[in-house]
């Protein structure tokens, strides 16, 4: 065979984020080499200074839109990409920095920075989907490497990627993790959190803290009863503020 098969171009972008999701991709190690063999990595500043101009077949976008610059970048990414994939809690629902949506950003700026006037922060910190059409969302803080690899494999082979809509409980039961809510009275958020992490935290004897966001039909009222008033409020703040910023909370 003389003709080289076409290799789709992959771009990896960063908005307001900690880089942890991009690092998850780099941490794939051997599997990363396989991905690199199947695609042309055209833009991935975290990994290489070699940047190729668009258009791109697949863009993985990490981070939330927090200022005018990221708002402009997200438009550019959309216009240059066939498939836009939001990766991680920041890109899919705002992330930890979205806590400011429930406070006064000007007050935050003055208490954190010596020259607040230099900071161009929008009042709200929002997910990518508040600005452009997103084709797929990979949840988690950070994303699961396994889910990312399975997603890329499916997309590259023309299959419809599978995303669970059920809760973390299924993953605990498949793995054989003893239920922390039932056996220890832990305020585990597993019953209302979307699966995909492979029951990572419960597997290490820690209750789920909801980083994959709410699952389909999450029964929050039942969770309040499970966790008890105090713990429920503390934990629900995590799932509501960090990982479920109301879309379009800004004008």
- Residue 228 to residues 103, 167, 188, 219, 235, Cα–Cα distance (Å): 26, 20, 11, 14, 11
Closest distance to other proteins from the beta carbon of 160 (Å): 11
Pick 85 or 189: Cβ nearer other proteins: 189
- Looking at the Cβ atoms of 25 and 226, the one nearer to other proteins is 226
Shortest distance, CB of residue 246 to other proteins, whole angstroms? Answer: 23
Q: Which residues bind other proteins (CB under 8 A)?
A: 150, 153, 157, 162, 165-167, 169-170, 173-179, 181-185, 188, 190-192, 205, 216-217, 219, 221-223, 225-226
In the complex, the smallest distance separating the C-beta of residue 82 from other proteins, rounded to whole angstroms, is 22
CA distances from 75 to 50, 80, 184, 245 (A): 22, 9, 47, 20
Nearer to other proteins, 117 or 216 (CB): 216
In the complex, least distance from residue 181 CB atom to other proteins, rounded to whole angstroms: 5
Name which of 26 and 179 has its Cβ closer to other proteins: 179
Task: Work out how close the CB of 196 gets to other proteins at its nearest, in angstroms, rounded to a whole number.
Answer: 14
Q: Which is nearer to other proteins, 164 or 246 (CB)?
A: 164
């Amino acid at each position: 065979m003389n003709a080289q098969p076409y290799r789709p171009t992959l771009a990896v972008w960063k908005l307001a984020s900690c880089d942890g999701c991009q690092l998850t991709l780099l941490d794939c190690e051997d599997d990363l080499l396989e991905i690199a063999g199947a695609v042309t990595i055209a833009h991935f500043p975290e990994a290489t200074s070699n940047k190729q101009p668009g258009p791109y077949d697949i863009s993985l976008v990490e981070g939330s839109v927090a200022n005018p610059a990221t708002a402009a970048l997200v438009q550019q990414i959309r216009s240059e990409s066939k498939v836009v994939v939001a990766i991680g809690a920041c890109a899919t629902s705002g992330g930890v920095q979205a806590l400011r949506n429930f406070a006064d950003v000007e007050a935050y700026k003055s208490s954190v920075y010596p020259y607040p006037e230099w900071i161009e922060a929008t009042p709200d910190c929002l997910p990518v989907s508040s600005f452009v059409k997103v084709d797929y969302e990979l949840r988690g803080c950070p994303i699961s490497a396994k889910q990312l690899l399975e997603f890329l494999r499916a997309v590259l082979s023309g299959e419809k990627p599978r995303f669970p809509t059920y809760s973390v409980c299924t993953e605990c039961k498949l793995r054989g993790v003893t239920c922390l809510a039932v056996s220890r009275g832990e305020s585990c958020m597993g019953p209302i959190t979307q699966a995909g992490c492979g029951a990572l935290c419960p597997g290490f004897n820690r209750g789920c803290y909801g980083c994959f966001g709410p699952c389909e039909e999450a029964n929050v009222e039942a969770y309040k009863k499970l966790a008890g008033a105090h713990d429920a409020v503390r934990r629900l703040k995590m799932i509501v503020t960090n990982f479920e910023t109301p879309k379009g909370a800004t004008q």
